[in-house]
Amino acid sequence: MIIATTKASMFSATGLTGVTGTLRWDRREGAARILAAVLALSFALPVCAAALPSWRASPSRAAIVEFVERVARPGSPDFVAQEERVAVFDNDGTLWAEQPAYAQLFFAIDRVKAMAPEHPEWAENETLRAILSGDISAALAGGERAFMEIIAATHAGLTTEEFAESVRAWIAAARHPATGRRYTEMVYQPMLELLGYLRDNGFASYIVSGGGVEFLRPWTEATYGIPPERVIGSSLRTKFELRDGTPVLVKTPEVGSVDDGPGKAVNIDLHIGRRPIAAFGNSDGDLQMLQWTAAGEGPRLCVLIHHTDAEREWAYDRASKVGKLDVALDEAERRGWTLVDMKRDWSVIFVEATAALERRPPSRAAAPSGDRAAGVPTRREPASGAPEGSPTADPAPTQD
C-alpha cells in the first residue's frame, strides 16, 4: 500500500481512495482499472497497417490503409460505427486464382468421372459423353447450356449435407492443373492479410461470389476466416423432403439465384441488409457490386484487383473469357476507384504451399489485352502445365 497526500477526489477513478485526509493506493484495484482503460483504448484505435507485409508501398496500399484509419479511428470526422463497417469480396480472381477455369467447374468435371459408373445413361448425353472421353473442349462448346447440364448432373438430387461432404473431400485432395497446388493454396496471401487487417479493425467481411454458395461454404471459414453465414453465391433451388423419416434439403436442377452482375447488388441487400462501405472485385461481373457500394453516403472504398503478373500468376483483363475486366476497368479509372496492380503492388502472390507439395510454376501468359488472355487457353491449346483435356476459358456463365 502506498500513502499519498493529494486530494482523494482527483484520483478515485484509478484506485486511489481517501483515508483521513490522505490517499491510499490500492495496487490491485488501480492496476486493474488502468489495464482496462489501456485495453479499451487499444481496441478503439485502428490496428497498424504493418499487418499487410505482402503489400509493397504503393498507391493502392496507401488508399486502403488511409480509408481504414479514417473510418475506424474514434474522433475522426469520417468515423463509421463498427456495426456499419461491412466489406464485400468477390471470390474467383479476387481471393483466389480463377485461371484457366473456375474451380467449381473442375469439381463438377471430376464428379462426372467419379459418378459415371452409376449412370450408364450419361453415354447418351453429348456433353457428359465428351467429358468421359476426355474431350473437355467439345463438352464445353455449348457454353452456358453445357455448363448447366454438368452442374445438374453432378449437383442435383444430393442432400445439402451430402453435397457439402463431397466438396470437403474434393477440396482436400484436388490439385490445380497448372500448378499442382491444392486449390486452397491458390489463395492470394495479400488478400488473406487484408481480410485479417479489416477484421482487426472491426469490419465484418462477406464473400459475394458468382460461384455456388454451397460449393463455397464448406471451406471458406478454415481458409479465409469467413463463416458460412457470411457467404453469398449462386444457387440451385432446394426442396424439403423426408427420407426414412428424417428431414433433409435436396438440391434440384433448377437455378435459384445467379449471384453475378446486378445479382450481386440485389443479394447484398437481400442477405446483408446493409450497404457495404468497402467492396473488392476483379471483373465486370463485380461492377454493379462496386457501383452499389460507391453510391452510399459517407466514406467508400472500391477496389479492383488487376491481374498483371504473367510470371507469378496470369496476366489478363479485356480479352479474357474468364474474369473479363473491361467495362469495370474503364469505370474504375473514370471514378477514381483503387486499382491494385498485382505485379507492382504484391511482393508475394500465393499462400505458402505445403512442404511436401510438388511445385510447378503457373503457365506463362501474354500481356493484358492481347489477342489471347494470358493463362486462358484456347480450344486448340490447353494451359501450359495443365493436362490435355483441361477445361478451356469458354464455359463459365458468370464473370465472378
Is there a contact between 150 and 109 (Cβ–Cβ < 8 Å)?
yes
Which three three-digit cell numbers place residue 65? 490503409
The reported pTM is 0.79
CA dihedral defined by 9, 11, 13, 19, rounded to 10 degrees? Answer: -70
**Residue in the structure block whose three cell numbers are 457501383:** 291
Question: Tens of pLDDT along 314-340?
Answer: 999 999 989 999 999 999 999 999 999
Burial code of 105-141, b = ≥16 C-beta within 10 A, e = fewer? Answer: bbbbbbbbeeebeeeeebeebebbebbbeeebbbbbb
How far apart are the C-alpha atoms of 184 and 217, rounded to whole Å? 13
**Residue in the structure block whose three cell numbers are 464448406:** 218
Question: Tens of pLDDT along 213-272?
Answer: 999 999 999 999 999 999 999 999 999 999 999 999 999 999 899 999 999 999 999 999
141 pLDDT band (50/70/90 cuts)?
Answer: confident
Q: Taking Cα atoms as reference points, which of 222, 141, 144, 134 lies closest to residue 183?
A: 222
Per-residue confidence (pLDDT) for residue 33, from 0 to 100: 58
Question: Tens of pLDDT along 338-369?
Answer: 999 999 999 999 998 753 333 334 443 333 33
145 pLDDT band (50/70/90 cuts)?
Answer: confident
Q: Report strand pairing: 22-25 vs 16-19.
A: antiparallel
Which three three-digit cell numbers place residue 17? 481512495
Per-residue confidence (pLDDT) for residue 381, from 0 to 100: 32
Q: DSSP string of 124-160?
A: G-HHHHHHHTT-HHHHTTTTHHHHHHHHHHHHTT-BH
Question: Tens of pLDDT along 183-228?
Answer: 999 999 999 999 999 999 999 999 999 999 999 999 999 999 999 9
Per-residue confidence (pLDDT) for residue 152, from 0 to 100: 86
Check whether 294 has a pLDDT greater than 60. Answer: yes
Per-residue confidence (pLDDT) for residue 28, from 0 to 100: 57
| Intra-chain end-to-end CA distance of the chain, in Å | 65
Per-residue confidence (pLDDT) for residue 147, from 0 to 100: 81
Per-residue confidence (pLDDT) for residue 30, from 0 to 100: 55
Average pLDDT in the chain: 83
Check whether 48 has a pLDDT greater than 50. Answer: yes
Q: Taking Cα atoms as reference points, which of 157, 170, 162 lies closest to residue 114?
A: 170
Per-residue confidence (pLDDT) for residue 17, from 0 to 100: 42
CATH tag, 20-354+362-371? 3.40.50.1000
Question: Tens of pLDDT along 77-97?
Answer: 999 999 999 999 999 999 999
Choose between 397 and 50: higher pLDDT.
50
Check whether 105 has a pLDDT greater than 60. Answer: yes
Phi, psi of 44 (to 5 degrees): -80, -30
Q: Report strand pairing: 231-243 vs 246-257.
A: antiparallel
